[in-house]
Amino acid sequence: MALLEIQGLSKAFGGLRAINGLDITVDEGEVVSVIGPNGAGKTTFFNLVTGMESPDEGSIVFGGQELVGLRPNQILQLGMARTFQNVRLFPAMTVMENVMVGQHSRTKAGLLGAILKTPSQRREEREIEERSKEVLSFFGTRLAGYRHDELSMTLSYANRRRLEIARAMATNPRLLLLDEPTAGMNPRETIELTELIGQLRSERAYTIVLIEHDMQVVRNVSDRVVVLDHGVKLTEGSYDEVSTNEKVIEAYLGRPAELGA
Amino acid sequence: MRRAVKLGLAGGAAMVLVAAIGMVAAFQARMLIDPILPLGTFFLYLVAFIFGWMASKPPVTLEGFEPARAGIRNVLAGAMAGALGGLCVGLLLIVMTTWDLRGVFIALSPELAEILSFGLPVAAAIPVIALVAGAAGALGGAVHLLSPRLRRAVLSALAWVLVFSLFTDIFGQAFTALRLEFLVDFIYTGRGGALTIVGAIVVFAVFFVLYWWMSGRTNTLRQRVQSMPRGQRSRWQIGAAVIILVVLYFVPKIMGPFVSQILVTAGIYLLMALGLNIVVGYAGLLDLGYVAFFAVGAYTTAILTSPQSPAFSPELSVVASIPFVMIAAAVAGILVATPVIRMRGDYLAIVTLGFGEIARILLNSEWLAPYFGGAQGITNIPDLQIGPLTFSTPQDYFYPVFLFVLFAAYVTYALQNSRWGRAWMAMREDESVAEAMGVNIVTAKLSAFVVGAILASFGGSLFASQIGSVFPHTFDIVVSITVLVIIIVGGMGSVPGVALGAIVLIVLPNLLREFSEYQFLFYGVLLIVMMLNRPEGFIPSKRRAQELHSEEMAQDAWLEIYGEKGQPEQVPEGAV
């Protein structure tokens, strides 16, 4: 059954049609890569799905619920979390706090509870802490013990990306949207992250949609690849099908000279 | 060299400014050390001292390089800067004695000329001024020659001499209350007088010895407490807290009504500052109209308790009005927050500024005068009464104000590590990401405003019952600005910092009546100096300190715990 079903999605910025009549379906448990040249509308697509921008037309149905018109926090509540292409952590908060914020929508203590330190608030606070540690332990020594109380701004670039994934995991999502998770990583780190994405699916049972430029990663993790160009879907299919598709090669490399003339 | 000249001229400009705006002449009547040092002269040459110190500050050296050794060059640079400053003052003296500039600069009076020239004729005075300023500058430069330990002891002792000579009233009052009149007679020329020369030397000597002896020891004490096992440490901390509370209990009794009144005012500002700290420091919502919530608290109490309330006067007790004050503040918080929900940063600041002014103008208006009394305000607000206790004097009010401050400090701490505290911080850091991570921005903004509003309204309520009347002109924009300056200078997000900010900005200017005319000049200078040298505030929150050197601290702490257990964790490659 389709977890995410998008039909006729369109969004224009002034005269630029960033997304134009897009239909995409993602099934439960799938890993889908969205690729395409720069400016193809990939990040806009993520922004529309997570409610950070509102579409001009079309429908986005997630787990049977229409998302268009909902605020980002409501969409997250339904079980969809994302990371950002340009890593947007809360820089002056610690690693732990970043992950703890992720659990905001899954907990419910109020202000009075915090001031009166009610037993239920303290229990919940402990649970938040435990779950945050558990999520961070997913990254092994990378975000281990001594880093928990560091400000996230002091982390290395690769660790910031990991922390962003941890923060998204802490929201307990069904669908994880990863925006270029390996951008800026060295080859070793890229391989590590590729394995991690595999684990996210096998151990955590997340459905994953990722935007990625590194074709090795795309080949290794995806069940299906969707190619966008100028806001429209060029094609979709397995990595091998897509990578040999003429239209895709054309979009990336341009039209051969003798035909383009 | 060029630095010394540049700073000397800057210092000269500062000295001329200090003289020309009338500070020197206004402070001259006040003696610091009788009969040699009046405050005006001291203040003028303090400027030379500071610039001498700055001019001879060693340049920044890179890590690993040997810094240049302090030597006679520092003293010379200081002397040069100071003397240049003195020459500028001499120039001022020539100009002001040749032409009468009093039409523009009222303060350039013959009395000022008398003070500046030490009573000498102008031609003889100029070298003297340059010499004295040069000496002050040289002293400033010489500070660098002292070893750190000696420097600390000398400067601290000098600071205490200054404190003793500035706050004669307080020390006189306190010593008298403690039955130590003989001390007053010994070091002062009489109650409320200046320090005697002997007194100044004694104070300096006592504090010099004290600091010399203490240096190095305070740290080890702190370390000892920190290295204690948990139970013992918390017992120590509880003990320290009890001692502080006992001392605080006696403060108003010893200090008398004048100082207590200042402390009550400072406490009310502190209460507001703690509230604003939640709105600005935690949630990042720059509210420039914060005084409106203070006004809501004051007016709600006034209307509900005063028999003079024009329209509606249930004549409740002050305590009974508190729940209504909270409700009114919460409603006001929501009213202000609702229209600004989708606003950020500068826009929010301007709109809240507008709200603050609207509140004051409405309270002042003829239109609402039947309800709020217009410019006449509401008078006859009864004293605070709790059971058999009646609070009427400033000394009495110290205790409830202090309790409310404690409560506000507790709330600040409790909310910091809570679900909403984290949500506020996330919103401050990046509003759209916070929303995408599940924080309901609407609720978060409303709740931050409501909590801040309630704390400020407590301040207003206490203020109204202590003063006994409320007038619209009290709730002016300056209150909002002052509260904001307190948290910026003190250290945003840090309770001890905000407390220190309230002391520096409210208590000091009120104690030094000579300065109160120049209060805002003082705020301005302080703000500029702080922003340049210590933008995180006097006592920054742990988090802010961490922003500067977090990595080594965290790693050291971690190694201490795990390294000794024999499981040294290697720092993973590529994770640097």
List, in sequence order, the alpha helices (H) in B227-290. 230-276
pLDDT-derived band at B570, boundaries 50, 70, 90: very low
What is the model's pLDDT at position A258?
57
Nearest to A104 among B437, B550, B562 (CB): B437
pLDDT in tens, A190-249: 999 999 999 999 998 999 999 998 999 999 999 999 999 988 999 999 999 988 888 888
Of B432, B427, B425, B441, nearest in space to A86 by CA: B432
Show which of residues 34-93 on chain A sit within 8 Å of chain B, judged by CB atoms: 50-52, 71-73, 76-77, 81-82, 84, 88-93
Angstrom distance (rounded) from CA B468 to CA B271: 19
In chain B, what percentage of residues exceed pLDDT 70? 90
Angstrom distance (rounded) from CA B173 to CA A229: 82
* Mean per-residue pLDDT over chain B, rounded: 85
Nearest to B426 among A93, A117, A124 (CB): A93
CB B406 within 8 A of CB B398: no
Judge: A88–B433 Cβ closer than 8 Å, yes or no: yes
Among chain A residues, the shortest Cα distance to B450 is held by: A111
Output the CA torsion A122→A125→A130→A136 (10° steps): -160
B556 touches chain A (CB under 8 A): no
Domain assignment present for B445? yes
A1 touches chain B (CB under 8 A): no
Judge: B569–A105 Cβ closer than 8 Å, yes or no: no
What is the model's pLDDT at position B437?
94
A109 touches chain B (CB under 8 A): yes
CB B27 within 8 A of CB B40: yes
Residue B440, min C-alpha distance to chain A (Å): 6
Cβ neighbours for B142, distance < 8 A, ≥ 6 positions apart: B74, B75, B78
> Of B516, B533, B568, which residue constitutes the final position of a domain?
B516
Among chain B residues, the shortest Cα distance to A116 is held by: B414
Domain assignment present for B132? yes
What is the model's pLDDT at position B192?
60
SS3 A211: strand
Same domain for B130 and B263, yes or no, is no
Report how many Cβ contacts below 8 Å link chain A to chain B.
137
Range from B6-10, B68-72, B185-189, B357-361 carrying the lowest mean pLDDT: B68-72
Average pLDDT over residues B436-450: 94
Q: Which two tokens stand for residue A209?
A: 């949609």
pLDDT in tens, B221-271: 667 777 777 778 888 888 888 998 898 888 888 888 888 999 999 999 999
Average pLDDT over residues B524-552: 74
Average pLDDT over residues B82-94: 89
Number of domains in chain B: 2
pLDDT at residue B36 is higher than 60: yes
pTM: 0.86
What is the model's pLDDT at position B65?
64
Q: Residues of B with CB below 8 A from A131's CB?
A: none
Residue A231, min C-alpha distance to chain B (Å): 23
What is the model's pLDDT at position B67?
63
> Of B462, B481, B516, which residue constitutes the final position of a domain?
B516
Among chain B residues, the shortest Cα distance to A94 is held by: B543
Nearest to A158 among B411, B432, B574 (CB): B574
B576 touches chain A (CB under 8 A): yes
Show which of residues 183-212 on chain A sit within 8 Å of chain B, judged by CB atoms: 186, 188-189
A249 touches chain B (CB under 8 A): no
Strand A31-35, strand A207-211: pairing: parallel
Compute the Cα dihedral for A105, A106, A112, A114 and give only its sign. Answer: negative
What is the model's pLDDT at position B104?
79
Domain with B490 in it: 255-516
Residue A130, min C-alpha distance to chain B (Å): 14
Q: Residues of A with CB below 8 A from B435's CB?
A: 52, 71-73
Rg (CA), chain A: 20
Q: A151 to each of A89, A97, B213, B543, B548, how far by Cα in Å?
A: 10, 9, 38, 8, 10
Angstrom distance (rounded) from CA B151 to CA B140: 11
Angstrom distance (rounded) from CA B282 to CA B424: 6
Domain assignment present for B451? yes
Q: Residues of A with CB below 8 A from B554's CB?
A: 146-147, 149-150
Nearest to B438 among A89, A104, A141 (CB): A104
Among chain B residues, the shortest Cα distance to A146 is held by: B558
Per the model's pLDDT, the better-predicted residue between B16 and B550 turns out to be: B16
pLDDT-derived band at B565, boundaries 50, 70, 90: very low
Cβ neighbours for B558, distance < 8 A, ≥ 6 positions apart: A145, A146, B569
Domain assignment present for B448? yes
Nearest to B419 among A94, A109, A188 (CB): A109
Show which of residues 168-207 on chain B sit within 8 Å of chain A, judged by CB atoms: none
Average pLDDT over residues B516-523: 83
pLDDT at residue B574 is higher than 70: no
B346 touches chain A (CB under 8 A): no
Among chain A residues, the shortest Cα distance to B541 is held by: A92
SS3 A181: coil
Q: Residues of B with CB below 8 A from A84's CB?
A: 433
Show which of residues 418-447 on chain B sit within 8 Å of chain A, judged by CB atoms: 418-423, 425-426, 429-430, 432-441, 447
Cβ neighbours for B459, distance < 8 A, ≥ 6 positions apart: B268, B269, B271, B272, B275, B294, B297, B404
Q: Residues of A with CB below 8 A from B447's CB?
A: 111
Judge: A150–B550 Cβ closer than 8 Å, yes or no: yes
pLDDT at residue B199 is higher than 50: yes
pLDDT at residue A18 is higher than 80: yes
Judge: B576–A97 Cβ closer than 8 Å, yes or no: no
Q: B100 to each of B20, B93, B110, B117, B472, how far by Cα in Å?
A: 13, 11, 9, 17, 42
Angstrom distance (rounded) from CA A79 to CA A176: 9
A153 touches chain B (CB under 8 A): yes
Average pLDDT over residues B90-111: 83
Per the model's pLDDT, the better-predicted residue between B99 and B216 turns out to be: B99
Per the model's pLDDT, the better-predicted residue between B119 and A114 turns out to be: A114
pLDDT at residue A174 is higher than 80: yes
Q: Residues of B with CB below 8 A from A121's CB?
A: 418
What is the model's pLDDT at position B563?
47
Angstrom distance (rounded) from CA B330 to CA B310: 24
Average pLDDT over residues A39-58: 92
Domain assignment present for B24? yes
Among chain B residues, the shortest Cα distance to A185 is held by: B574
B35: preceding bond cis by omega (within 30 degrees): yes
Same domain for B282 and B412, yes or no, is yes
pLDDT-derived band at B442, boundaries 50, 70, 90: very high
pLDDT at residue B513 is higher than 80: no
Compute the Cα dihedral for B294, B297, B299, B305 and give only its sign. Answer: negative
Judge: B411–A115 Cβ closer than 8 Å, yes or no: yes
A124 touches chain B (CB under 8 A): yes
Q: Residues of A with CB below 8 A from B551's CB?
A: 150, 154
Q: How many CA atoms lie within 13 A of B152 on its CB side?
A: 11
In chain A, what percentage of residues exceed pLDDT 90? 65
> Of B145, B174, B202, which residue constitutes the final position of a domain?
B145
CB A207 within 8 A of CB A3: yes
Angle between helices B168-177 and B148-166 (to 10 degrees): 80
Q: How far is CA A153 from the centre of its chain?
A: 21
Per the model's pLDDT, the better-predicted residue between B39 and B560 turns out to be: B39
A125 touches chain B (CB under 8 A): yes
Find the CATH number of the domain harbouring B283.
1.10.3470
What is the model's pLDDT at position B479?
93
Nearest to A102 among B437, B451, B543 (CB): B437
Domain assignment present for B560? no
A147 touches chain B (CB under 8 A): yes
Judge: A111–B451 Cβ closer than 8 Å, yes or no: yes
pLDDT-derived band at B575, boundaries 50, 70, 90: very low
